[in-house]
Amino acid sequence: MTEQTAPHSPISAEQFAEQIRQELEYSQGVRPEQATAADVYVATSLAVRKQLMDSWMRTQQDIVQGKTKAVGYLSAEFLMGKQLRNALLSAGLTDQFEQAVTQLGFDIQAVIDAEVEPGLGNGGLGRLAACYIDSMASLAVPAFGYGIQYRYGIFKQEFDAQGRQVERPDYWLDNEEPWGHVDYNRSQRVSFGGKVVEENGHKVWKPAWSVRAVPVDYLVPGYASGRVNTLRLWSAKSYDEFDLLTFNNSQYLDAVRPQVKAENISKILYPEDSTPQGKSLRLEQQYFFVSASIHDAIRVFYPGQDQPDLTSFPDKICFQLNDTHPVIGIPELMRVLIDEYGYDWNAAWSITTRTFNYTCHTLLPEALEVWPAKLIGELLPRHLQIIQQIDRHFLAELEGKVADPQQIERMRIISTGEDPQVRMAYLATVAGEHVNGVAELHSQLLKDVTLHDFSLVYPGKFTNVTNGVTPRRFIKLANPRLSALITEGLGTDRWLSDLSLLEGLRPLAQDDGFVGRFAQVKRDNKADFAAFAKREYGFDLNPDTMFDSMVKRLHEYKRQSLKILAVIADYADIKSGRVSADDLLPRTVLFGAKAAPGYRMAKLTIQLINNVARVVNTDPEVKGRLSVHFAPNYNIRMAQHLIPATELDEQISQAGKEASGTGNMKFAFNGALTVGTLDGANVEIRQRVGAENFFLFGMTVEEVDALYAKGYQPESYYQADPRLKAAIDMVADGSFSDGDCGTYAALVDDWLHKDYFMTLADFTAYNQIQSDIEALYRQPLEWSRKALLNVASSGFFSSDRAIGDYLERIWKTGSMD
């Protein structure tokens, strides 16, 4: 068997233990005898960081001096998850760590648990960015991640006694944070407000206030590549520490006001993940990190040059815009080139349009960001002028190409009429060299619907890159048992850097002995998860039941309500005596989901699920057959525990609404079967794993459109399916609200009279597929065989493959080695 060794100079367990001791004493001032697990965590992290430092410096030097174009991944979110074990894996120090910590007399798990997860993202988009920088480092692609070091990450979710979501601030930086290195010497000034004046025929921006953007650098170690890239997260600091004059007048609060205003910029991650808030602070955040990043890239690639030749800029670096959040970078680069470096419009436009590419991550029209032109004019007056000029040039171009004046009107970057809005997705599409969606179906719908007018004018710009996720975190770290079995089955662990090798497991699906061992891995993972859930949440989970999970943000289009209605229907069947509890397949239904704090329907759905759980789990009549659990505060750590233990994965969004989904890929990697609609990447997962190994149900995009067109009447479905009626009636009659019929009235009313995402229309099909699921689950070997085939066929969904596609189709660059 060939074991891959990481090429960062490996050391022995004894040497590593000594380094940890040194860090304890000389960095933290703690004697090893007095150290706590948290101290050892910090010391270990500092020691690993130092181990990676030589590779990091070599990588940085090669990026600047090499001939390979770099990638700047601009993203408002990076949902990294815990760092320590991933860094150890990349540094090839996992075994040494375990031995060293044991030698020092500490519990390995306690050291790992001491790390606080940085929650610097909302969900799919932020986690994707984290997977992509992992893959870029592993493929030796010269790359920088650029984002914001929020002081408060995504809120911590708790449930109150009524089962309602309560949000608590996530002050993750309250603890010592050994991974980020604050580099005060590489800070950038970012300015806002003021006005634009004419001086000698030039437009000159006179800003009203500035903040200091201080980079906090995180190492991004590649797996088995010997490369370490940089994630540079900007933190906002004030220049005006104190206004001494005011302070002398003892108006202390007034004196620190400018500081508070500046530092507010990186204070909090917006928890909205699908509707733009339109808040000025959010635009400030976007401009803050993008402006700092562009100036940083110029500093890195043209060191010490006052008059650099920036016509070569697109050969040095290209920027990937992760959704519209960083799109203000387009007018910013134009401004930098024209106002700061003296290029004319055409030269600046030529550089800019070769520098940016745009990835769209949504299909919901309400999630396409727009900013009032008035707001941009107040905050960034020079940028508004530049956007207006881009819009004028674009209009002239369209007038030569498009006959229909209405189409031209629809396509304007700045909408006309009262209160004009800047459409950021359109700006990105016009100025970006490439535009991509995140799954085949999504990219097709972008061309056909969301950006249809643009795809007619710029057919060559549009492409697809189906999302991927990293097998290092989501197989190797999350599921050590499965990893060992895969390595044994394939006779190598090279699959960790070439996931297509998983195909080699296919013949083993015919080997009942191997399938049995695969089933045992799942059984052991379920037992582990049950212990974890007991410790963390006090849940009593029975590992001899089917583990059926739905974890993702809470959103109406994702249809958690479809799942809970199906659970209620099963429960109602038993309560009414239509079905005997003994006939029900024993099932544990697990939910995890955060709702945006202002999203009323989503929060009500959480409350309903919690109360269904309360009622069902305490009812002796269904004991051992059906239980429902909503684990609070779903995050990366929980995902790493839950996904390997799941047997059935719910991907049941309304067709045409989920851009891709990435949880679906992580579950397939870990041998869960998917029950899903033809939406997002489900379509491609099904193609690859085979229709016979995937539980498909529900309307297609075309059927959804046709039903809308015909006039959708949800109540008719309620009348037609007695199980659906029984379930909704139970919600309405107070069965899950101590008899209060008002608690869920808004939900019930929505289901019966609006149901925009057609939960009711898909309910019957969803229930029918459950019989197939139950029948297969009653044949454990056949179930496990299909699950193993899912693992063998899902290598395509590695983020390494996705980055390969970006390199080939969009970035036109490659490995530096």
Q: Is 422 in the site for ligand 26W (CB under 6 A)?
A: no
**Minimum distance between the CB of residue 452 and ligand 26W, rounded to whole angstroms?**
19
Residues in Cβ contact with 672 at an 8 Å cutoff, skipping those fewer than 6 apart: 549, 643, 646, 647, 648, 649, 787, 790
Query: Smaller CB distance to ligand 26W: residue 480 or 804?
Result: 804
SS3 at position 163: coil
**Which three-class secondary structure state does DSSP give residue 131?**
helix
Name the nearest CA neighbour of 547 among 634, 673, 669: 673
Per CB under 6 A, the segment of 63-71, 166-174, 566-574, 656-664 that binds ligand 26W is: 656-664
Please report whether residue 438 would count as binding ligand 26W according to CB under 6 A.
Answer: yes
Helix 37-65 and helix 84-91, axial crossing angle in degrees, nearest 10? 50
DSSP letters, 571-611, are HHHHHTTSS-GGGSPPEEEEEE----TT-HHHHHHHHHHHH
Q: Which of residues 339-368 bind ligand 26W (CB under 6 A)?
A: 361-362, 367
Q: What does the DSSP assignment read for 394-418?
A: HHHHHHHH---HHHHHHH-SB--SS
Q: Closest by alpha carbon to 135, among 797, 710, 809?
A: 797
Catalytic-residue membership of 553: yes
551 binding ligand 26W? (CB under 6 A): no
> Between residues 381 and 437, which has the closer beta carbon with respect to ligand 26W?
437
Residue nearest ligand 26W (C-beta atom): 124
276 near ligand 26W, judged by CB under 6 A: yes
* Of the candidate residues 138, 455, 662, 767, the single one contacting ligand 26W (CB under 6 A): 662
Q: Does 660 bind ligand 26W (CB under 6 A)?
A: yes
Site string for ligand 26W, 309-338 (x = CB under 6 A): --------------x---------------
**Footprint of ligand 26W on 675-704 (CB under 6 A):** 680
Instruction: Work out whether 124 is an interface residue with ligand 26W (CB under 6 A).
Output: yes
How far is residue 37's CA from residue 16's CA, in Å, rounded to a whole number? 16
Question: Is 552 annotated as catalytic?
Answer: yes
Segment contacting ligand 26W by CB under 6 A, of 86-94, 117-125, 697-705, 746-754: 117-125
- Whose Cβ is closer to ligand 26W: residue 225's or residue 662's? 662
Task: For the beta carbon of residue 46, count every other beta carbon within 10 angstroms.
Answer: 21
Q: Token match 């859930």: residue?
A: 533
Cα–Cα distance for residue pair 211/362, rounded to 1 Å: 32
- Residue of the chain from 123, 147, 420, 714 that contacts ligand 26W (CB under 6 A): 123
Check 21, 335, 361, 786 and give the catalytic one.
361
606: Cβ contacts below 8 Å, ≥ 6 apart: 159, 163, 164, 165, 554, 593, 595, 630
**128 binds ligand 26W per the rule CB under 6 A:** yes
DSSP 741-760: TTTTHHHHHHHHHT-TT-HH
Give the type of residue at 647. E
Applying CB under 6 A, which part among 329-337, 660-668, 670-678, 709-717 lies near ligand 26W?
Answer: 660-668
CA 376 vs CA 201, 301, 329: distances in Å: 23, 30, 13
By CB under 6 A, which span of 104-112, 154-162, 198-206, 269-277 interacts with ligand 26W? 269-277
Q: Is 125 in the site for ligand 26W (CB under 6 A)?
A: yes
Is 659 a binder of ligand 26W (CB under 6 A)? yes
Q: Which is nearer to ligand 26W, 272 or 503 (CB)?
A: 272
Assess contact for 791 and 649: CB atoms under 8 A: no
Sequence length of the chain is 817
Pick the closer one to ligand 26W by CB: 76 or 732: 76
- What is the pairing mode between strands 421-423 and 370-372? antiparallel
C-alpha span between 274 and 323 (Å, rounded): 11
Phi, psi (deg, nearest 5) at residue 655: -55, 135
Under rule CB under 6 A, which residues in 722-751 are in contact with ligand 26W? none
**Is 666 one of the annotated active-site residues of the chain?**
yes
Which residue reads 């289009």 in tokens? Answer: 557
434, 442, 473, 558: the catalytic one is: 558
Q: Is 149 in the site for ligand 26W (CB under 6 A)?
A: no
Annotated catalytic residue, options 49, 69, 434, 666: 666
Comparison of 77 and 750: residue with beta carbon closer to ligand 26W: 77
Q: Should residue 274 be labelled a site residue for ligand 26W when binding is judged by CB under 6 A?
A: yes
Strands (E), 746-797: none
Fill in the per-residue mask, 225 to 264: x = in contact with ligand 26W (CB under 6 A), - = not in contact.
Answer: ----------------------------------------
Question: Which of 230, 467, 735, 737 touches ligand 26W (CB under 6 A)?
Answer: 467
- The verdict on 138 binding ligand 26W (CB under 6 A) reads no
What whole-number distance in Å separates Cα of residue 665 and Cα of residue 502? 14
Cα 539 to Cα 533: distance, rounded to the nearest angstrom: 6
- Minimum CB distance to ligand 26W smaller for 274 or for 291: 274
Residues annotated as catalytic (active site), given as ranges: 361, 552-553, 558, 662, 666
Where on the chain is the footprint of ligand 26W (CB under 6 A)?
123-125, 128, 272-274, 276, 323, 361-362, 367, 369, 438, 467, 658-662, 680
